[in-house]
Amino acid sequence: MDRLPPHIVEYIISYTIGRGRLVPGLLTNTYTPTVPHALFSLMGVCQKWRDTAKRFIGEPAIVFVNPPKPTRLGKSEHAYYLGDVIAAGLEQRVRHLLLDFTVEDIRDGIAYSMFNSLVSQCKGKFRNVHTITLHTSLRDSYYWIYNRQTGLPVIRLQELANMEKEVSQNARRIGDLVREAMPSVVSVAYIGPYNHTLDSTSLNSAILSALLAAAPSIQYLSIPVGELSRTILDNVLAPNITQMHAFLPVGKSDGITVLAIRYADRLETLSVDAIDDESFIMLFKSPADGSPVVYSKLHTFKLTRSNFWTRGEDSYTLKVNPFPKLRQFICKGDFPFATSDMFRWIQPTVEVMKVHLLVGMYKTFVREGVFATGSYPNLRYMDLAWSLPRDRFMDIDLAWELSRLVSLSPVLEKGSFKVCTTSPKREVTAMSTHGFVKELNLAGIHYTIVEAVHLIKRFPALQLLVLMLKNSDDVNERGDMTDADTERFQQRYVALGNSRFKKLCVRCNGFYSYSRAAHHILLLASIFRSIEEIRVCSEYRDSTRDILAAFDMAKNRKCFDSDGRGRIRSVRIAVIDRRSKWF
């Protein structure tokens, strides 16, 4: 085994644990790659295997102080206990440390004792840790808060006050260990207990305050779960934060929004998960006097919006531009503002824009002029999705709107325009030519092969296209085409070829067999001879083998190798899930 070449050893390890080597980098999320259990046993083969395996425990490796709880941490079977990492002599490679404690463990000093014991075993060897994630939970929140028979609270206010005091004291002790042993921490994530029957804001604030005090140089702060008190966090904590991610709870506590506003003049990235309009709009109002809040240095804003409760059109009427230097504007879920002002404000600066609009709102914004040709001079990537209320029909001309949207910027390179429709109102041949777009995602629009050919022609710089391919009654597409039919089609359209077009992602609609769909897709590839890879979206997980077999059969048809070069046979075919990011 020790005579195997290093690249073979690396391949064996990669195959065994089911992933490649980890890429170094700063972690800015709480769900990161973990250390597979099998990796440590592979390290015992010999020194060569040990050295190779260590590359898979790179900067993003997670280790646990306590065994993880599967219900909260997902794939816990791949997580590994910190003590075992220390025993393997790999503690110096740790970059991300995940601490998993219950509030009761912190209160009783158990968490401190356990953590102190582990840290003392390897003094000076955790100085490369740059990310700390702290999970806290209530050991048994149902029994702790309520009596099962009476339904009345078990804990009294005085008991809660005493608990907060003890938790705060021991959290500071844990913070002191972090500050001494891990002076390089620049990223902190806190996931606190969240319970509708208990006001946990003081507990969360006490623990987070201790964590921030332990890492005075942190730049990134994430609070994906938990509520905070608006008064407990010290104003001097974490003065260097430039990136923040937070969950905004429903109206109960505004401590997190107050924290974001505190950093408004220094934040460069702000990502929020919001549930209702009320909590979201608080980001733009000063808690002192309701005056507008401006995030003067923010260049990236991301909103994940789900289950929003509409509170009237005036809820989001902003008076001033909150993002004067914004370069990335990303909204997952319906567009949260009632007016087009936000689009108008960000026009001069935005480079990446991902939004979801109701068709009615989009039409209103078009009339107000915020989607005029050339109005976004720096926009390089746009992802726009339309949606309709139930029982409504798409009443916009998609060919025209596509032409409008790809004309928004003279430097647009990537466009994704998603809307479900089977019949565009006009032929795509009516579009003007756009020579700068390199990637185009039209996953919701159904095209025949003729329409797809003309579409690609309009984008001479196109390198990647995502679309829906449908059958039609066109004479060149009706029924199972013979080789002669295929060759006539090729001769008619081959002059439209695009030499830069490399990758096609396609989902088929209306084809009664995989063989016919494969024939149509390869026919498109025979027109655009630069295509190197085709990804086919499958509706069913068990259809991959049948789809690939259909392509293998279609590739051998003589009409796809008229010059004898075998180009179509060399095109890579892959089957992807319908939940892929492309669709």
Residue 249 has pLDDT above 60, yes or no: yes
- Model confidence band, residue 61 (pLDDT cutoffs 50, 70, 90): very low
Tokens of 78: 């791949």
Tell me the mean pLDDT in the region 353-369: 89
**287 and 261 in contact (C-beta within 8 Å)?**
yes
Q: How far apart are CA 497 and CA 525, in angstroms?
A: 10
Tokens of 42: 């592979």
Residue with more model confidence, 544 or 306: 544
Residue 310 has pLDDT above 60, yes or no: no
**226 and 192 in contact (C-beta within 8 Å)?**
yes
- Give one word for 330, left, alpha or beta, with left for phi > 0 and alpha for psi -120 to 50: beta
Amino acid at 558: K
**315 and 337 in contact (C-beta within 8 Å)?**
no
**244 and 205 in contact (C-beta within 8 Å)?**
no
| Phi, psi values for residue 104, rounded to 5° | -65, -35
Query: pLDDT at position 371, please?
Result: 93
Residue with more model confidence, 481 or 328: 328
Q: What single string gives the DSSP state of each residue in 271-332?
A: EEEESSHHHHHGGGB-TTT-PBP--TT--EEEEEE-SPPP--GGGG--SS-S-TT--EEEEE
Q: What single string gives the DSSP state of each residue in 432-458?
A: PP-SS--EEEEEEEEE-HHHHHHHHHT
Residue corresponding to tokens 């949207």 = 405
Tell me the mean pLDDT in the region 324-332: 94
User: Cβ–Cβ contacts within 10 Å for residue 180, how many?
Assistant: 12
| Phi, psi values for residue 179, rounded to 5° | -60, -40
pLDDT in tens, 374-408: 999 999 999 988 766 554 555 666 667 888 888 89
Q: How far apart are CA 164 and CA 107, in angstroms?
A: 8
Residue 536 has pLDDT above 60, yes or no: yes
Residue corresponding to tokens 């260590």 = 54
Closest listed residue to residue 511, CA positions, set 468, 451, 452, 544 = 468
**360 and 394 in contact (C-beta within 8 Å)?**
no
Count of positions (residues) in the chain: 583
Residue with more model confidence, 565 or 370: 370
Residue 548 has pLDDT above 80, yes or no: yes
Lowest mean pLDDT among 72-86, 428-442, 473-487: 72-86
Residue 524 has pLDDT above 90, yes or no: no
Q: What are the structural domain ranges in the chain?
A: 438-582
The pTM assigned to this predicted structure is: 0.78
Tell me the mean pLDDT in the region 351-371: 90
Query: pLDDT at position 340, please?
Result: 92
- Model confidence band, residue 566 (pLDDT cutoffs 50, 70, 90): low
**335 and 356 in contact (C-beta within 8 Å)?**
yes
Tell me the mean pLDDT in the region 540-560: 84
pLDDT-above-90 percentage for the chain: 16
Q: How far apart are CA 40 and CA 337, in angstroms?
A: 51
Tell me the mean pLDDT in the region 194-223: 79
Tell me the mean pLDDT in the region 164-182: 90
pLDDT in tens, 41-51: 555 566 666 56
- Model confidence band, residue 157 (pLDDT cutoffs 50, 70, 90): low
- Model confidence band, residue 372 (pLDDT cutoffs 50, 70, 90): very high
pLDDT in tens, 84-139: 677 767 777 777 788 888 888 898 898 899 888 888 887 788 888 888 888 887 76
Burial of 499 per CB tally in 10 Å (0-12, 13-18, 19+) = exposed
Query: pLDDT at position 211, please?
Result: 87
Residue 199 has pLDDT above 70, yes or no: no
Average pLDDT score, the chain: 76
Residue corresponding to tokens 């032409």 = 403
- Give one word for 142, left, alpha or beta, with left for phi > 0 and alpha for psi -120 to 50: alpha
Tell me the mean pLDDT in the region 517-526: 87
Alpha helices in 79-156 (DSSP H): 82-87, 103-108, 110-120, 141-145
Tell me the mean pLDDT in the region 147-165: 61
Query: pLDDT at position 555, please?
Result: 87
- Model confidence band, residue 18 (pLDDT cutoffs 50, 70, 90): low
- Model confidence band, residue 354 (pLDDT cutoffs 50, 70, 90): very high
